[in-house]
Structures are given as C-alpha cells and as structure tokens.
A and B are shown apart, each in its own frame.
Chain A
Amino acid sequence: MVSLNPVQILNMGAEEEKSETARMSSFVGAIAIGDLVKSTLGPKGMDKILQSSSNNETVQVTNDGATILKAIGVDNPAAKVLVDISKVQDDEVGDGTTSVVVLACELLKEAESLVSQKLHPQTVIAGWRKAVDEARRALTESAKDHGKDAKKFREDLMNIARTTLSSKILTQHKDYFANLAVDAVLRLKGSGNLDAIQLIKKLGGNLRDSYLDEGFLLDKKIGVNQPKRLENCKILIANTPMDTDKVKVFGTRVRVDAVSKVAELELAEKEKMKDKVDKIIKHGCTVFINRQLIYNYPEQLFADAGVMAIEHADFEGVERLALVTGGEITSTFDCPEKTKLGHCDTIEEVMIGEDKLLKFSGVALGEACTIILRGATQQILDEADRSLHDALCVLSQTVKETRTVYGGGCSEMLMAEAVSQLAAKTPGKEAIAMEAFARALRMLPTILADNAGYDSADLVAQLRAAHTEGKNTFGLDMDQGQIGKMDDLGITESYQVKRQVLVSGAEAAEMIIRVDNIIKAAPRQRPRDDRCH
C-alpha cells in the first residue's frame, strides 16, 4: 500500500505558492506599487516624501517614479519586476519612469478582471501582443519629424523640455530651465555625451539664480602660495600618491636599530619625493591635478617651480576633467614624451554663493559646460538636480531620434483608438483582451485628469469622441480643465519615450501574468563567521 504522507520535494525552508494564491499575490503587490506612484503623474501630480530607513534620517522629496521606487523596500517578486522596469526606463531614456509603472499596473488590473472572468492568461497575452503591435504602428504613424529644420527643431526641444519639467518642482520656472537645458544639450552638437555637462549644487539663493556657464568648474582649492590665475595652461592629470610617509599596507613594520637611521629614512623619503616632483615638472606642465593628496613638501616644491597643484579631485571630477581638457590620467612619470597633456585657456578662482571654485575656461572640448544650481534647501537642490538630469537625458535622446509625438494624453488616446478598431475586427476571445488593453491605455489620461481634480470621466469621454472623429491632436489641457489641441499648446513628447513606455509596460505586465507558481529557495546555510575573534 502506498503511504499517503506528503512527500517533501523542496528543501527545508523553501516555500511554494500555487496558482490562485501566486497570481493574487503577484497582482496585489504590483498593483500596490502602481497605485503608489499614480498620484505623481502629470502637471498636477504631487511629490512624495521618502523617509530613509537608515539611521541618518535623510529625507527626500521627489516626483520622479524611479527615485521613489528605488527607495522603498520590496521583496515581492512581482513588485520587483515593476521597480526594475522603472529603473530601465530611467537608464534608457530618463523620463517616463512613472508612466511605465502606471501603464503596467493598469494592464495588470485589467488582466485580473479578465482572469477572474475565466479567460485564460495565454489568451490575454496573445491579444495583448497584437494590441501592442497595432499601438506601436499607430504611434509611429502619428510621429512628426522636424530634424532637418533647425528652428523648428529647437522649438520642439523647448516644448519637450517644458513638458518634462512640467510635473516637477522646476515647473515654476520651466521656461527658464527649459531654455537652460536646450542650450546645454545643443552645445553638445549631437555627441550625446552627458558627461560633458556638469551639474553643481550650491546651497543658498533660490532656483531662479541658477545659470549655465561655459567651461568647467572644479570644486577644489589651489595649493598655498601658488599662482591663482594661469593663462594658456598645460594640464597634467595624475592619480598617484604624493604622501609617501603613510604606510599603505596594514600591519607592516619598519625596524631600525638606531635613531639616526630613522632620520636617514626620512631623508630618503624626501629625496624620493623631490625626484618625483622633478620628473613631473619635466613634463612641462603648468598645472598638476592629482586625485589623491599632495603633501606639504611637494606642494612647496611646486610653488617654487610656479606650477599650480590641485589635490583631492574626486574620481568623477578627474574623469570629467580628462574628458574635457583632452588629457590622459597618468600614474607614472617616466616618459614625458608619451603622456598627453590637457589644455585650456584660463584657470581662475571664482566665487559662487559662499564657496570658491576653480573655473577652467576655453577647454579643449568646446562642448563642455556647467550648470550651477542654487536652491533654498538641500531637498530642493537634489530634486532640481534629478529633474534637470531627466530633462537633459530626454533632450539628448531626442537629438539622436528626432521624431516627436503629442503629450497630454493625446498619444494614449490615439493608440487606444487604433487598438479598439482592431479589436472590433478581430474574431474570438482575443478581442476581449484587446479591448482591455485599450481600456488600460485610456486610464492614463484619466489619471492625469484625476490628479488635477477635474471630472475625468467627462473629459476622457470628450477626448475619445474627438479622436473617433479623427481629430487626433486633441489632448488634455490641465490649465483650463478641458480638451484642447496639443500642437497649439505645445505639449510635445519624444517619440522614443512614448514607445519605450508602451513596450516596457506591456512586457512587464505580460511577464507577471504568466506566473502561476512561485517557488522560493531555502536560504543558503552559511557557516558562522568567526573571523573577528
């Protein structure tokens, strides 16, 4: 007789959730995430305060979906998928991080109702695949391209920057900052390398005091007694220890048998340092920038030779400096002919707020520029930094992929219209899934209107009617609370952003729906770590 005891298949400590429970737990987790960021969408979206879970109690105020999702603690697998999608959107395009999560969440809500109506998830997915293709086709058709016309293109870029900034804290001065961002990006001349644009945050003043400066700013000080202003500089960038009396290997000991030997050691170190400095000066540079410390003795030697020495430039600063001045980062100084020196026209000290910074003007990489951000509190500065970074990312993407589409819910309604029409022609149960997809797309303008406090059902119905009639430039005007033409209002978005939102959102939702079994591995048994004893 076969024993009827339950057979233990999984390891001790592993868990498994099956069908209904797995699906429900996936849905609820992901939907909770979507509902969380929903209220930040659109020009009337609100920001969130994130309280840090660590002991130092930093507080962040942010509107950016990716930042919010990075900060909350999530262990649930479905929710993790959404958080990842938001991160990917941030890395790829920069904007639309909230939209993608909201779209995925709405799709999941529709899927949940379909599955509870006994529709098989694979049917839903098949329908959605067709819907995504149709929506993508409709979006591509409606995209406009002004890449050839410089004036119109700048107009486009301004509109896009304004739309991106409209949901963030910088919306108060969005014209000013849009101008700033577009100037900075156009300076790059299509290279798309955002490293050349530096953002420096300085506490104090208000947002309006921020400005764009050509040239490169370094937040460090010049050594003592060294020339404060240099023209026609040759820059040697290095990453070498100039503090030789520190022991670099923990636990080493130097044994000598007499005090005089200690004095000899010190003298030998001094000689070594002098040799090093001589080698550096032989390169013929007028400026020496080191990533690490420069001790007093070499500093004095540099001052004697009339070389400006700057210490402790951090990693990022040094990388950027190398990029911008055209020099190489060196660690050894034995071959002066082979090292490439950076170049710039002037280096001088400037004062911003209460701090002194070094300004490198006329750098080899003409595209380099710096944006100085001023703000009343650290939170405002951080948020302004993130928003401007988003805008810059989107603009640099648009410079490469010049097509634009209309924002304000117009593209979503357009896609939903196309999908609905296709659904009406499709036989079988997939049509129901496609209708659900169109409904989910229409939820985005609904959420925009809800956040603004207007009657979302009414507005979206009007919008839908307009689109069915063929007027496909109509979208939501959140200032007046009615529908309006997006080309008149200038609410434009990059085609790349919208397409990425559509595709990523649909993929994430599809992946979560396919789950019907969740298996959690048993935690790995680690031997107790006794190394500290």
Chain B
Amino acid sequence: MEGDYDGWQPPSEAEMKLMQARRERSDKISKMMGDYLLKGYKMLGSTCRECDTILLQTKQGVNYCIACSELDSDADKDNPVTNPAAALALAREREIVAVPSTPDAAHSQTSNQRSLLHNSSQFQDAPSGHAEITSTTVPGAPQAVRSQGVTASGFFAGSASSQNQGGTGDGFWSIGRERASDGQKYVKELLDKMDWAVAELRATRNVEYSIQLCQLIKASAEALSSVRAALDS
C-alpha cells in the first residue's frame, strides 16, 4: 500500500472522525448561509476574526458571522472554562501527573494519553465512558447545559452521590485525602464558578439561560458541600 502512494498514508480513525465532524459543521454553516443569501444578505470576501467563517453583510451594512452567533463553537469543547468534559480531562491529567505512587494512578499513567478518559472511568469503575460521568454530575439538568456546565468539581459531586461508582469510590477518596490542599483549590474553583454564574445571571435577560444558570448554581452548591464533607471526613 505504501509503495503505491509514494509514502502517503491514508488518515487514521481518529483523524477521520475529526474530519467528519468538521465537515458536518461546515455543511451546517453552508446551509444557513444559503438561507441568508436568499434573504438578501451579501457574502463578503473577508472572514470572521474568531472562527474564520465567511462574513455576511446586511443591507444596512452590518457584518454578521453565522457561526459565532448561531452555532456552538468548534473550539469551545476544548476550553475548560466553559465545558465540563474538557474540565474533567484537565483535572484527571493533573491527578495523573501529581500522584504516580498510587497503584490506580500508575495504572492509568501507563496507558495511552488519548484513552485517558476511558482509564479514568475504569479507575472509577463506571460502566461506560465519559458521557456517563458528565450526565451524572448534573442531575436533572438537560444535556444542552454543557456550555454552562459544572467544572471539575462536578466530578467530585458525581463520585460522592452517584450509585454507579461502587467500591472504588474509597480508593478514590484515599487519594483525595492525600491531597487536601488540592481539595482547597477545588473548593476555590467551585466558588469561582458560582461567582461567574451569578454574574451571568445578573447580566442575562433570557429565561432559558437563567434557569440553566440557577441549576448550575444549585449543582455547584451541592458539589461544594460534598467536597467540604469529603475533606472534613
């Protein structure tokens, strides 16, 4: 195969998935752009500064970016501040790096970085991967809340309150006890998050968004109480 193509390799599974996702997003953008063009918007030759999508111009001369205004961003899912999944990933990476002595941590350290999340879930003894954990951390809130989601602290709340975690919850808490100072950091993170949520709540007029923020604050408070309980015990 390699001889035929002069050293060009067809892309790997993961790269294909990435390309597929990007293509779908691009298709969505094209479709929306078509609708706007029919309404009389003008397609410009310049692109948006943030997301590099082609700008549309209204008849009044106002420039408008479809992707920034209407679609969820591509890069947001890797940003820990706005996305729980990314935050979880970040938290786990920190743990793995900080505690090589514990058998469970060592176990996950030997495995591939890319399947870090899978290992963390084994670590947690949760049945499936990532999505499961995310959904259990914000009980009751709809899946679409992910962009205002709970940070790494939610991970702790899930481990304390959810049924799935079973026996290895103890193993996990032993690590938590060893790093009480980190626990303080997590408390601080939670508080920061709640501050941010309250600020957003003050600023917004959207009812849906306000409801989601209130749920976020509630979840954060629960998480906070669990963390404090865990640290004290």
Contact = CB atoms under 8 A, between A and B. Distances in A.
Interface of A: 15, 17, 21, 24-25, 27-29, 31-36, 48-53, 72-77, 79, 112-113, 116-119, 427-429, 432, 518, 520
B144 to A, nearest CB: 26
A72 B38 contact: yes
B6 A428 contact: yes
B29 A53 contact: no
Interface stretch (B40-48, B161-169, B178-186): B40-48
Interface stretch (B52-60, B76-84, B96-104, B114-122): B52-60
A77 to B, nearest CB: 6
Nearest to B10: A117
Contact of A36 (B34, B42, B53): B34
A32 B38 contact: no
Contacts of B44: 75-76
Contact of A75 (B5, B43, B59): B43
B19 A29 contact: no
Given A24-B52, A28-B54, A32-B33, A428 B5 contact: yes
A33 B38 CA distance: 10
9 contacts: A21-B52, A24-B47, A72-B40, A72-B42, A75-B43, A75-B57, A76-B44, A112-B26, A116-B22
Contacts of B52: 21, 24-25
B31 interface: yes
B19 A51 contact: no
Contacts of B47: 17, 21, 24-25
Given A25-B47, A28-B54, A72-B37, 10 more contacts: A21-B52, A28-B53, A35-B27, A36-B33, A72-B40, A75-B44, A75-B45, A79-B43, A112-B23, A428-B4
Given A117-B11, A118-B8, A36 B43 contact: no
B10 A35 contact: no
B146 to A, nearest CB: 26
Contact of A73 (B4, B43, B46): B43
Contact of A32 (B37, B46, B57, B59): B37
A467 B111 CA distance: 50
B30 interface: yes
A141 to B, nearest CB: 29
Nearest to B32: A32
A53 B53 contact: no
A53 B40 contact: yes
B49 to A, nearest CB: 11
Nearest to B26: A28
B39 interface: yes
Contacts of B27: 31, 35
Max chain B Cβ within 10 angstroms of own Cβ: one of A21, A118, A119: A118
Interface of B: 4-6, 8, 10-11, 19, 22-23, 26-27, 29-31, 33-34, 37-47, 52-54, 57, 59
Contacts of A31: 26-27, 30
A29 B43 contact: yes
Contacts of A428: 4-6
Given A31-B30, A113-B23, A518 B45 contact: yes
B34 A32 contact: yes
A36 B54 contact: no
The 6 A-B residue pairs with the shortest CB-CB distance, nearest first, are A73-B42, A36-B34, A32-B33, A32-B30, A72-B37, A76-B43
Contact of A113 (B19, B39, B43, B54): B19
Contacts of B26: 27-28, 31, 112
Contacts of A50: 38
A25 B54 contact: yes
A35 B32 CA distance: 10
B29 A28 contact: yes
Contact of A48 (B33, B38, B42): B38
Contacts of B29: 28, 32
A113 B23 CA distance: 8
A17 B47 CA distance: 9
A116 B19 contact: yes
B38 A73 contact: no
Contacts of B41: 73
B210 to A, nearest CB: 34
Contact of A427 (B4, B23, B39, B43): B4
Max chain A Cβ within 10 angstroms of own Cβ: one of B11, B26, B54: B54
Contacts of B19: 113, 116-117
A427 B6 CA distance: 10
Max chain B Cβ within 10 angstroms of own Cβ: one of A33, A52, A520: A33
A72 B35 CA distance: 11
Given A25-B54, A31-B26, A118-B8, A51 B39 contact: yes
Contacts of A53: 40, 59
A27 B41 CA distance: 19
Contacts of A48: 38
B22 to A, nearest CB: 8
B45 A77 contact: yes
B91 to A, nearest CB: 32
A451 B37 CA distance: 20
A76 B6 contact: no
Contact of B5 (A33, A49, A429): A429
A429 B6 CA distance: 8
Nearest to A20: B52
A79 B22 CA distance: 21
A76 B54 contact: yes
A410 to B, nearest CB: 28
B147 to A, nearest CB: 24
Nearest to B31: A35
A171 B33 CA distance: 30
B18 to A, nearest CB: 9
B69 to A, nearest CB: 16
A50 B41 CA distance: 11
Contacts of A36: 33-34, 37-38
A52 B46 CA distance: 24
